[in-house]
Amino acid sequence: MSEPVRVIIADDELISRGYMEMFIQPSPRYEIAASLPRAQDVVDWCRKNGPADLAVMDIMMKSGMDGLTAAGILKKEFPGMKIIMATSALEQSWWEQARDIGVESFWYKAYAKLSLLEIMDRTMDGEHVYTNEDREAMLGDLPVSELTNQQRNVLRELTRGRNNREIGERLCIEESTVRYHLEEIMRKAGIHSRVELAVKASRANIVVSDEDRLNGMGN
């Protein structure tokens, strides 16, 4: 019988970490090598003990290094270790950054159609699992999947408390274009004010800035 796959879990939420442990432990295919509260701990553990076969890491951390930064370090130092990024946020740019880093798979914890073990099995079998799980998520009446990249960028700046002029300057677009995008999103979503739009987008973690990710201000 082959040796079990050694897995490292990293999530700053104790309940979420326990949830992953609960599903992984009964499987004869996997062995939990470490269950850690910080992404930095994964880097430190691998440097001390050598890489595990697979790491499942949350992206947002309340303190220290975020999961994407840790994944970039791990891929450089231990390219043979496979990584699954996990998140409850629907920030599309993270999906793209994970692919650029070389992360094998991406799992949306709150919207997943595939279980964690299914993602792990397929990843260890050589697949790169990047499913568009945000298709079921809604912003009011608007499916999140229907937002364009520029609309997501505008929303991201809106949730940071910026006005139309400031958003336009940061994105290098006309203020009128910002206004058009916000009005179009609100019309489709059935939302009646920019304050309500910002609150709902922020609560749903549809967009999270890199600044907030690096400072541990998301999920």
pLDDT for 88-129, tens place per residue?
777 777 888 899 999 999 998 866 678 899 999 999 999 999
Q: Indicate whether 15 belongs to any domain.
A: yes
Instruction: Of 142, 145, 123, give the one whose Cα is nearest residue 57.
Output: 123
Same domain, 33 and 53: yes
Please name the residue that has the structure tokens 């004010």: 193
- pTM of the full structure: 0.73
Domain assignment present for residue 209? The answer is no
Instruction: Quote the number of domains for the chain.
Output: 2
Residue ending a domain, among 84, 108, 136, is: 136
Q: pLDDT band for 219, please (50, 70, 90 cuts).
A: very low
CATH of residue 195: 1.10.10.10
Q: How many other CB atoms are found less than 10 A from the CB of residue 74?
A: 26
Structure token pair of residue 209: 């800035």
56 domain-assigned: yes
User: Is residue 111 domain-shared with residue 154, that is, in the same domain?
Assistant: no
The answer to the question of residue 171 being in a domain is yes
In a domain, 212, yes or no: no
Task: Tell whether 20 and 128 lie within a shared domain.
Answer: yes
Please give the C-alpha separations between residue 205 and each of 85, 125, 200, 217, in angstroms, as whole numbers.
16, 31, 8, 11
One domain for residues 20 and 93: yes
Whether 218 is in a domain gets the answer no
What is residue 131's three-state secondary structure?
coil
Tell me how far apart the alpha carbons of residues 65 and 59 are, in angstroms, rounded to a whole number: 9
| The domain boundary residue, chosen from 90, 110, 136 | 136
Non-local (6+) Cβ contacts of 17 within 8 A are 9, 11, 35, 37
Q: Judge if 25 and 112 occupy the same domain.
A: yes
45 and 147, same domain (yes or no):
no
What domain range includes position 50? 5-136
Q: What is the DSSP letter of 130?
A: B
Strands 138-139 and 142-143, how do they pair? antiparallel
Query: 216 with 58: CB under 8 angstroms?
Result: no
Beta-bridged to residue 35, according to DSSP, are 9
**33 and 130 share a domain?**
yes
Neighbours of 197 (CB within 10 A): 20
CB contact at 8 A, 19 and 9:
no
pLDDT digits (tens, 9 = 90+) for 116-172: 999 999 999 999 998 765 556 788 888 887 889 899 889 989 988 899 999 999 999
DSSP, res 46: H
- Residue type at position 175: E
Residues 52 and 110 in one domain: yes
Q: By the 8 A CB rule, do 86 and 95 touch? A: no
**CATH code at 52?**
3.40.50.2300
**pLDDT recorded at residue 132:** 61
